[in-house]
Amino acid sequence: MDHCGILMENGLPCDREVMNGEIYCIFHLPNKQGHQIEEFREAFNGLINNLREKKSELYDFSYFDIPIDLDLGETPTLIFNKAVIRGEINSKVNKEGFFETWLNKIDCQYTVFENKVNFSGVIFKDQVNFSGATFNDAVEFTGDRFEKEVDFSSTIFKGRVFFFENHYKEKASFHFAKFMEETKFVGQTFYKDTDFRFSVFDKDINFGHIIFGKDADYSQIKFNLAVRFYKIYCLGKMEFYSTDFFGGAVFLNYYPQTLVDFTESTFHEQFILKRGKRGLQGLPISDDQYDLKYPFLILQLATFKKPETVVISGFPLSKTSFICFVDYH
Ligand SMILES: [Zn+2]
């Protein structure tokens, strides 16, 4: 029997046997059809049972072409690098809706998710890496706890994206990510730095009810439609250096505590920046943090294409730095 034609990350070929008349094994054969799908299901279940029996610390599904739905339970390290997952992914959610699933390290670099993905109610106990992955359908992360770094750098989200009520204990990176449909980040708590640099948002974006415990970097982003930031509390710097706001940019109940920097950013449409009066009810922060501070507001070399729509309130001029380009048409 010939061996499967896939070269693994370590440069060695996959040592499984090829399927009849094919050059790949059942796991690596792309675009499985008909009986091949059932054959895969059987082989995959067998593989998982085998790994469980051996108490394996690592489930390596690199380069797999997975035509079936996956239910994720408590697992050791999961590797889906460069895999194609054509079924849906559903984490197991308990009756209360939260924290049924515990995942250790999950590595999905350059993985392609063809179908809906729902990683809700998950405690990710180790690093989570989706860098370079492509989500071709909707993605939901609700009620998750990321105990270690999360990496969505260069990830492509082609469907709707919903991040709701999540906690990030370590750095969260979305740099160079591309969000092609409506995207919502609501009720997020980032304990460490957050990095959205160079990301691109094609549709309406909402960032609401968010606590940034450290710096949040939104530099060199392209917001191609409207973006709304509301009920935002940031203890570190909030940077929007050289970011393009092609649609309206609205910041309401906005409470950065140190510095907001819009240097060299361009506002093509409406720009509203308001601290607001209602404070931060609804955000899970302790009372002593309600001693809200006025941040420095930097608008140097920012360009306002529609200056008649600009409203800034609640930010004292003594801490504001202007040298702006106003583009009258
Ligand atoms: Zn193979």
Query: pLDDT (tens digit, 9 = 90+) per residue, 57-92?
Result: 889 999 999 999 987 777 788 899 999 999 988 876
Helix (H), strand (E) at residue 37: helix 35-53
Task: Provide the mean pLDDT of the chain.
Answer: 90
Do the domain assignments include residue 298?
A: yes
Residue 49 CA to ligand 1 centre (angstroms): 18
- Compute the distance from residue 112 Cα to the ligand 1 centre, in Å: 18
260 against 94, higher pLDDT: 260
282 pLDDT band (50/70/90 cuts)?
low
In a domain, 251, yes or no: yes
Higher pLDDT, 279 or 13: 13
245 vs 307, which has greater pLDDT?
A: 245
C-alpha of residue 137 to centroid of ligand 1, in Å: 26
For residue 256, pLDDT beyond 90: yes
Assess if residue 73 is contained within a domain: no
How far away, in angstroms, is 12 Cα from ligand 1 center? 11
Task: Give pLDDT, residue 247.
Answer: 97
Interval between CA 105 and ligand 1 midpoint (Å):
23
**In angstroms, what is the span from residue 83 Cα to ligand 1's centroid?**
12
From the CA of 22, how far away is ligand 1's center (Å)?
Answer: 11
Distance in Å from the first CA to the final CA of the chain? 73
> Is residue 70 in a domain?
no
Question: Is residue 192 in a domain?
Answer: no
**Distance between CA atoms of 293 and 139, rounded to whole angstroms?**
36
The verdict on pTM exceeding 0.85 is: yes
Distance 52 CA to ligand 1 centre (A): 20
Q: State in Å: Cα 136 to ligand 1 middle.
A: 24
Q: Which domain holds residue 281?
A: 221-329
The structural domain count of the chain equals 1
- Residue 12's pLDDT band (boundaries 50, 70, 90)? confident
Strands (E), 35-149: 58-60, 65-66, 70-72, 77-79, 84-85, 89-91, 101-103, 106-107, 112-113, 117-118, 122-124, 128-129, 134-135, 139-142, 145-146
Q: How far is the CA of 16 from the centre of ligand 1 (A)?
A: 5
Residue 88 lies in a domain: no
Is 242 a member of any domain?
yes
